[in-house]
Structure 1
């Protein structure tokens, strides 16, 4: 079971955005995240670079989001991460209070998780248990189609597809307009393959400096049981964002 632990962070640029704070006149939101961590020790050197760009558009009845992230790291000269993810998703708001329909298309390739190529696409429904500017708690469920090219061992490569149930718990809290807590948690078991599931969870703590700049720390964990791989990333940094 492969593990990647980043122990000592170097402040560069980071963050996790769970939910944009739109208002009546704000329809667009852009966030850039770039994370760096480093550990220099007699036993060797470790570093990690994490870059992300997210664009959000919200109208009266629909929201559209596009996200790209890239994680690259080495430890003692050996590659530990070369992980890229690109996704487009939308939320469709109808007459049901605090509920909406969602759709998603997501492409991943990950050295640390032994994913050569992965396409996830599907949709479902979400319900907001709390839905206030400073307190947001949302539960969603749906079905995803998973087409993957993975390495199940160092010598075995497998191309397969399956349908997954996608259960997500998402939260966003703001205290005194200065401190933010964000979390997104996914459990995505296969509907046809036993002991085949994906776990993704992240937690972020932010301290607002200005309207467009915040100091953030985040913890992310990913596990793919089919490849018997997982990674854990601890990062510190800054978040740049703009509403317009």
Structure 2
């Protein structure tokens, strides 16, 4: 499997022969990231792969992002992760400077978090606290509708729906287009039950090897309090990007 993924990544790299960053006339972005960890000892072995594809369209007054990610892992031949997430979101810049509206639709299924199916959809507002060329700090808030099919205590079906308040903090630093830090954190509380909340964070640090190729370290953390499950992953790999 590792050889197949390596070959696939190599073919993608060979295909991307000219790269740039967003400019006034650049509206499209395509990125593929592959990372993972592997460990083998006399007592056992484990591995985990994390793959993500992102496509973005950006214009002066609106941006649209589509992201798909898949995490798969085993430990001593026992499945630990088979987690898939697909999201579509947009930002609408039609009012005050540094302020915009956002909308989101997100579908998740996760073996590690005991999520059979989960649909999150909603909208809200956001404001850039710091909005500079190389530094962005953004705070957003809104309401999401959550329709979920979960497993409690690993075996008890739990099908329910609720509205959630979704609070997000986003931080991004770009140091001379060579080192890029991205961090985002979500707190999503149910409006019905205070004990029902979701915590998510995603942090990445990338080092540009070429304009289109980066060495990336990722840390992901997820907690679903309703199922009393959590996962965390520290991985490293490559990111291939194309702007056009």
- Please give the TM-score of this superposition, normalised by the length of structure 1: 0.90
Corresponding residue number in structure 2 for 1:217: 217
Q: Deviations over 1:150-182 (max 9, x none)?
A: 001122111000000000000110112211111
Per the alignment, residue 45 of structure 1 pairs with: 45
- From the two aligned structures, give the one with the greater helix fraction: 2
Q: Contact between 2:114 and 2:154, CA under 8 Å: does it hold in 1?
A: no
What residue ranges of structure 2 are gaps of 5+ in the alignment? 1-5, 10-19
Aligned residues: 228
Higher alpha-carbon deviation: 30-39 or 162-171: 30-39
Distance 2:133 2:48 in 1: 33
Following the alignment from structure 2 to structure 1, what is the Cα–Cα distance between the partners of residues 145 and 22?
31
Give 1:139's aligned residue: 139
Q: Deviations over 1:195-217 (max 9, x none)?
A: 01000012111111111001110
CA distance in 1, matches of 2:79, 2:130: 42
State the SS of the aligned residue for 2:192: coil
Q: Secondary structure at the match of 1:51?
A: strand
Take 1:47 and 1:161, find their aligned partners in 2: how far apart are those partners?
34
Contact persistence 2:69–2:85 (CA under 8 A): yes
Structure 2 Cα separation of the partners of residues 147 and 238 of structure 1: 34
Q: TM-score, normalised by structure 2?
A: 0.90
CA gap of 1:133–1:193, structure 2 versus 1, over 3 A, is same
Q: Could you give the per-residue CA deviations for residues 121-151 of structure 1, whole angstroms, max 9, x where no partner exists?
A: 0000000011122111100000000000000
- Per-residue CA deviations over 1:69-101 (Å, capped at 9, x if unaligned) read 000000001000000000100000013100100
CA RMSD of aligned residues (A): 1.5
How many angstroms does 1:21 deviate by?
5.5
Q: Which runs of 5+ in 1 are unaligned?
A: 1-11, 14-19
Q: Which runs of 4+ in 1 moved over 6 A?
A: none
**Deviation for aligned residue 1:32:** 0.4
Question: Residue 13 of structure 2 aligns with which residue?
Answer: none
Q: Higher relative contact order at CA 8 Å, sep ≥6: structure 1 or structure 2?
A: 1
Shift in alpha-carbon separation, 1:170–1:66, aligned structure 2, 3 A = same
Indicate conservation of the 8 Å contact 1:21/1:133, yes or no: no
